[in-house]
């Protein structure tokens, strides 16, 4: 019976709460009290589950009670998994080095607060539901039994077999076919094709075996130009996972990853990763080759960070037809941007920071006969620490006249004035200028030479300007 799994789910949850990961949750998210109450409530219920499962075949009310309990336990499992994933994600961000740290300097760290509040609310709801269910157990005269949960995590680790040890799968044909059909469904740019297809369940149900059987299916192998496999163990190592992925893709062992995971060059087969949604790239190349990332038509977020030798990006960026976020950070040798960047019509967020040699005007057309109106979708643009940029790209900004809402300019001392097109950005709500002496002077409230160009913007923040932040008509 399905209800018989309630005891196993409860033991698994208790094992997770008592593990080191559980302790990290408490420290990372400030939910010590909530998680402690959840653990106490689970222990109290777990003590009678063995007897309840023995009696359920003779008592319909107990069977219903176990069914209600199982649904709550599944929700609790989802909450802990969500917290674990978020904690792991943050650890990966730390591990990947300064790319994300530089970005976080310009964003508030308070995004942890909404997540903590959301998780705290969910945990309290689960505790309340468990309390209601627990209050009913007295009606069944269930006897308590001490149960040791310390073995649960060890068992789950043993069950997490690697792909190489797979030997077969029995009784999961329908699940296998459903997954294969999802993977082989036609992909259209911008559709809801899954980035991640999760297979969830208790340890020992055959999740890894099912995934391996899908990967080995002949119709899957023939459908995809490139297929990669990597088993992620409990002892998580980002470097090891990357090495496994590269080896799976190229057939060659990748031993040249340093602590920053900087590739000597982008793998040639990256163009086959047509379903890739997120790419964080650090390379030693001087130029990104055509026919590489420009072929990733489903890519939505691209980080190009801390490529110390990179001088030029690829010229075929127009192939990134789904790109929504582009971050270019800490590329000290980058001298120009490709003109094809103006073809990224789906791009909504652009951040270019800490590129000492970059001149943003390289994306502008100098020949007036070649200048064509652009239709871009940018909502947020930030230029930071670009000492070689002497002017803002007017054609590029004008192309976002109907969409741009936030414009941030920081540490760009050579920019001398605000372009004329800024007065045409009617949707612009927020303009911030920091550590740009020449530009800040021209944008001073009421007195600056460029004030008439920007006075229509509701919120304006200019350093050393004490006359207020919001404009009024």
- Tens-place pLDDT, residues 182-220: 888 776 555 545 557 788 776 667 777 888 888 888 888
Average pLDDT of the chain, as a whole number: 77
One domain, residues 315 and 266? yes
Asked whether residue 326 carries a pLDDT value surpassing 90, the answer given is yes
Tell me the percentage of the chain whose pLDDT exceeds 90: 24
pLDDT of residue 383: 94
Which range (27-31, 243-247, 363-367, 409-413) has the least confidence?
Answer: 27-31
Phi and psi dihedrals of 13, rounded to 5? -65, -45
Confidence check: pLDDT of 473 > 60: no
- The band of 228, judged by pLDDT with boundaries at 50, 70 and 90, is confident
Determine, yes or no, domain membership for 234.
no
**Residue 125 forms part of a structural domain:** yes
Which of 163-172, 235-244, 393-402, 437-446 has the lowest average pLDDT? 163-172
The average pLDDT across 108-124 equals: 69
Same domain, 58 and 152: yes
CA 335 to each of CA 141, 363, 388: distance values in angstroms, whole numbers, following the listed order: 77, 11, 9
Contact (Cβ atoms closer than 8 angstroms) between residue 82 and residue 119: yes
Residues 35-48 have a mean pLDDT of 83
Do 132 and 166 belong together in one domain? no
Residue 184 inside a domain? The answer is yes
Distance set, CA 68 to CA 47, 64, 73, 127, 230 (Å): 17, 6, 9, 14, 37
pLDDT(445) > 80 = yes
User: Any idea what the Cα angle at residue 212 is, between residues 208 and 214, rounded to 5°?
Assistant: 120
Per the model's pLDDT, the better-predicted residue between 387 and 44 turns out to be 387
The residues facing 353 across adjacent strands are 329, 384
Q: Are residues 183 and 65 in the same domain?
A: no
Residue 87 shares a structural domain with residue 145: yes
Asked if residue 433 and residue 340 are part of one domain, the reply reads: no
- Name the least confident of 95-104, 128-137, 255-264, 313-322: 95-104
- Domain contains 229: no
Query: Is residue 251 one of the residues assigned to a domain?
Result: no
Domain co-membership, 379 together with 467? yes
DSSP annotation of 183 reads H
Tell me if 26 is assigned to some domain.
Answer: yes
Whether residues 125 and 188 fall in one domain: no
> What whole-number distance in Å separates Cα of residue 384 and Cα of residue 335?
15
Task: Output the six-digit token pair for 31.
Answer: 């939910």
Q: Phi and psi (nearest 5°) for 464?
A: 65, 15
Give residue 449's pLDDT band: very low, low, confident or very high (50, 70, 90). Answer: very high
Q: Do 180 and 142 sit in the same domain of this protein? A: no
Q: How many domains does the chain have?
A: 4
The range of the structural domain enclosing residue 335 comes to 262-358
Same domain (yes/no): 123, 166:
no
Residues 172 and 144 in one domain: no
pLDDT in tens, 341-350: 888 999 999 9
Q: Give the residue from 130, 156, 182 where a domain finishes.
A: 156
Last residue of one domain, picked from the residues 339, 358, 377: 358
Residue 20, Cα to own-chain centre: how many angstroms?
A: 24
> What share of the chain has pLDDT > 70, as a percent?
73
Q: HSE of 244 in the Cβ direction (CA atoms, 13 Å)? A: 14
pLDDT at 265 over 70: yes
Other Cβ atoms closer than 10 A to 377: 16
Per-residue pLDDT at 153 exceeds 80: no
- Angle of helix 32-55 relative to helix 6-18, nearest 10 degrees? 150
- Residue 95: which region, alpha, beta or left (left: phi > 0; alpha: psi -120 to 50)? alpha
Same domain, 303 and 442: no
- First-to-last alpha carbon distance for the chain, in angstroms, is 70
380-384/349-353 β-pairing = parallel
Question: H/E element holding 79?
Answer: helix 60-95
The burial class, CB within 10 Å (0-12 / 13-18 / 19+), for 456 is middle
Give 269's DSSP letter: G
The lowest-confidence range among 280-284, 317-321, 384-388 is 280-284
Q: In sequence order, what E strands does 228-340 have?
A: 278-281, 301-305, 325-329
Q: How far is CA 184 from the centre of its chain?
A: 24
User: What is the mean predicted confidence (pLDDT) over 422-427?
Assistant: 90
Which of 204, 223, 242 delimits the end of a domain?
223
Report how far apart, in Å, the C-alpha atoms of 309 and of each of 198, 214, 432, 460 are: 38, 40, 31, 36
Which CATH number fits the domain that encloses residue 273? 3.80.10.10
Q: Which range (70-84, 183-197, 221-235, 457-471) has the least confidence? A: 183-197
């Amino acid at each position: 019976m399905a209800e018989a799994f309630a005891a196993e789910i409860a033991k698994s949850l208790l094992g997770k709460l008592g593990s080191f990961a559980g302790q990290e949750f408490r420290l990372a998210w400030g939910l010590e009290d909530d998680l402690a109450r959840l653990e106490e409530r689970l222990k109290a219920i777990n003590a009678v589950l063995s007897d309840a499962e023995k009696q359920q075949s003779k008592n319909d009310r107990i069977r219903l009670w176990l069914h209600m309990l199982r649904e709550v336990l599944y929700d609790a499992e989802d909450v802990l998994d969500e917290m674990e994933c978020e904690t792991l994600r943050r650890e990966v961000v730390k591990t990947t080095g300064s790319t994300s740290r530089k970005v976080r300097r310009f964003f508030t760290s308070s995004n942890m607060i909404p997540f903590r509040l959301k998780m705290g609310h969910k945990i309290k709801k689960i505790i309340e539901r468990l309390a209601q269910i627990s209050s009913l157990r007295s009606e069944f005269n269930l006897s308590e039994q001490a149960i040791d949960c310390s073995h649960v995590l060890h068992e789950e680790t043993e069950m997490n077999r690697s792909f190489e040890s797979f030997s077969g799968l029995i009784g999961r044909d329908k699940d296998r076919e459903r997954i294969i059909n999802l993977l082989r469904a036609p992909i259209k740019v911008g559709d809801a094709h899954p980035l991640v297809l999760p297979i969830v369940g208790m340890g020992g149900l055959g999740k890894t075996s099912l995934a391996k059987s899908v990967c080995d299916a002949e119709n899957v192998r023939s459908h995809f130009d490139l297929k990669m496999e990597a088993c992620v163990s409990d002892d998580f190592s980002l470097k090891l996972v990357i090495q496994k992925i590269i080896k799976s893709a190229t057939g060659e062992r990748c031993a040249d990853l340093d602590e920053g995971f900087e590739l000597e060059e982008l793998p040639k087969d990256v163009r086959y990763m047509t379903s890739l949604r997120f790419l964080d790239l650090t390379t030693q190349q001087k130029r990104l080759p055509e026919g590489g990332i420009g072929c990733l038509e489903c890519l939505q977020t691209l980080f190009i960070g801390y490529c110390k030798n990179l001088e030029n990006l690829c010229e075929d960026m127009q192939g990134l037809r789904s790109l929504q976020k582009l971050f270019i950070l800490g590329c000290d040798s980058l001298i120009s941007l490709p003109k094809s960047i103006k073809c990224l019509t789906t791009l909504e967020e652009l951040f270019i920071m800490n590129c000492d040699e970059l001149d943003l005007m390289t994306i502008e057309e100098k020949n007036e006969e070649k200048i064509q109106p652009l239709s871009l979708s940018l909502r947020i643009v930030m230029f930071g620490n670009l000492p070689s940029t002497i002017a803002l790209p007017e054609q590029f900004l004008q192309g976002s006249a109907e969409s741009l809402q936030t414009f941030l300019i920081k540490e760009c001392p050579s920019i001398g004035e605000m372009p004329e097109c800024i007065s045409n950005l009617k949707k612009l709500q927020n303009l911030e200028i920091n550590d740009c002496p020449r530009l800040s002077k021209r944008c001073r409230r009421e007195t600056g030479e460029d004030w008439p160009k920007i006075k229509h913007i509701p919120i304006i923040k200019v350093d050393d300007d004490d006359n207020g932040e919001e404009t009024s008509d």
